[in-house]
Amino acid sequence: MSFPVVRNRRLRGTSALRSLVRENQITVNDLVQPVFVTYGTNIKEEISSMAGVYHFSLDRVEEEIKEITDLGIQAILLFGVPEHKDAQGSSAFDDEGIVQQATRRIKEINPNLLIIADTCLCQFTDTGHCGVIHHHPVTGQADVHNDLSLELLVRTAVSQAKAGADIIAPSNMMDGYVHAIRTGLDEAGYENTPIMAYSVKYASAYYGPFREAAHSTPQFGDRKTYQMDPANGREALREAESDVVEGADFLMVKPALAYMDIIRMLKDNFDLPVVAYNVSAEYAMIKAAALQGWINEEAVVMETMISFKRAGADIILTYFAKDVARYLQR
């Protein structure tokens, strides 16, 4: 008895054939480039653990914005490194804070560039935590106070929107943060400002280089009481569903590379745009291997990007955005 041979290889024979039947594509419109702005003058300082990523002072940020714009990238995620820190992270919601000043400056350079403002307190608190620390009156245990933190996060979001941020991206993982920020923005007259929720943010080991970049390493303990356990998958649906109900406009998965199953889970269960955050250590590992000559950087980066799309990501937030945009121009 003979069986028919399925000739799948017929559609792989030439580059043109492969392009014709390709299921997923990467375009420059998929990309968001993170940008780090700091105080001082004449600063363009490479972050030691993230080759090719820099801190820029306000007087030099135009260099980065011009490069991003010339590459056709239409959105950035803006992080600020403050001049001072305190228990409440007050410079986060100061109208003259580093993120607010940078937002206004970038809008002067390119009014059409979408600015996604990271809305968290960890860079601004002297504890390095994402909210206000509360000491339990009986046990003395220190933990982040959810509701007090929400009040300050709302003030931060409103201040960022007032400065000109196009999208608010709360990365703090406080319970009820989308509802609180949506209400605060609406009451302040920013009802058309979308929220890119960090819906599924794991307590991950992949954040190390970012914490160097943002100067946001916790001074004690960790963030496992408010970020998700990497062992949990179904919990991601609960977190995302609560953000949808509370008014989120985008759903993010962070990190992306080790959580492709979660990206697919959100894509299959919700009809909002899904954002994959290709985080700092994912970037740093590829860069380090490429510098050693162990891998073909471009090939590995592009395979990684297409895997995010295949998993279901609509938007890819990545430190490789400029690199990918250059590859696409060839």
Read off the CATH number of the domain in which 139 is found: 3.20.20.70
Instruction: Provide the pLDDT for residue 329.
Output: 92
Mean pLDDT of the chain: 88
Pairing of strands 114-119, 167-170: parallel
Residue appearing with tokens 């305190």:
86
Confidence of residue 151 (pLDDT cuts 50, 70, 90): confident
User: Are residues 272 and 247 in contact, defined by beta-carbon separation less than 8 angstroms?
Assistant: no
The confidence score (pLDDT) of residue 220 equals 46
Phi, psi of 150 (to 5 degrees): -60, -40
Report the number of distinct structural domains present in the chain: 1
Within 10 A of 244 (CB to CB), how many other CB atoms are there?
A: 18
As a whole number, mean pLDDT of residues 5-13 equals 81
| 205-250 per-position pLDDT tens digit | 888 776 665 555 554 444 556 578 889 999 999 999 999 999 999 9
Q: 3-class DSSP state for residue 329?
A: helix
Position 219 in a domain = yes
Residue 215 lies in a domain: yes
SS3 149: helix
d(CA 6, CA 119): 52
Interhelix angle 61-70/98-109, nearest 10 degrees = 50
**206 bridge partner residues:** none
Contact 194, 167 (CB under 8 A): yes
Structural domain contains residue 16: no
Say if 9 falls within a structural domain: no
* CA–CA separation, 324 and 301 (whole Å): 8
Evaluate whether 91 touches 46 at the Cβ level (below 8 Å): no
d(CA 187, CA 185): 6
Q: Is 286 helix (H, G, I), strand (E, B) or coil?
A: helix
Residue 15 counted as domain residue: no
Q: Are 177 and 150 in contact (CB under 8 A)?
A: yes
- The lowest-confidence range among 138-142, 153-157, 178-182, 267-271 is 138-142
Quick one: average pLDDT of 151-164? Answer: 94
> Is 55 in a helix, a strand, or coil?
strand
- Structural contact between residues 243 and 197, judged by C-beta atoms closer than 8 angstroms: yes
> What gap in Å lies between CA 42 and CA 44, rounded to an integer?
7
Binning pLDDT at 50, 70 and 90, where does residue 31 land? very high
What is the rounded CA–CA span in Å between residue 270 and residue 203? 23
Distance CA 38, CA 318 (A): 20
* pLDDT per residue as tens digits for the range 259-298: 999 999 999 999 999 999 999 999 999 999 999 999 999 9
What is the model's pLDDT at position 221? Answer: 45
Q: What tens digit of pLDDT does each residue of 94-130 get?
A: 899 999 999 999 999 999 999 999 998 877 876 665 6
Q: Is residue 208 part of a domain?
A: yes
Going by pLDDT thresholds of 50, 70 and 90, the confidence category of residue 66 is: very high
- Distance (Å, rounded) from C-alpha 249 to C-alpha 160? 17
**What 3-state DSSP class applies to 311?**
helix
Residue of 88, 123, 249 lying closest to 182 (CA atoms): 249
When pLDDT is cut at 50, 70 and 90, the band that residue 171 belongs to is confident
Amino acid, single-letter form, for residue 179? H
pLDDT value, residue 235? 92
What is the span of the domain harbouring residue 86? Answer: 24-329
Whole-angstrom CA distances from 93 to 96, 98, 174 are 8, 10, 17
Cα 28 off chain centre by:
17
Indicate which residues carry an active-site annotation.
201, 254
In this predicted model, which residue has the larger pLDDT, 15 or 299?
299
What's the rounded mean pLDDT across residues 27-52? 94
Q: What's the rounded mean pLDDT across residues 160-176? A: 90
Of 224, 228, 231, nearest to 198 by C-alpha is 228
Token output for 192:
């058309």
Angle at 199 between CA 147 and CA 142, to 5 degrees: 35
Whether residue 149 is contained in a domain is answered as yes
Whether residue 287 lies inside any domain: the answer is yes
- Measured between alpha carbons, how far is 79 from 89 in angstroms, rounded to an integer? 14
The pLDDT value recorded for residue 215 is 54
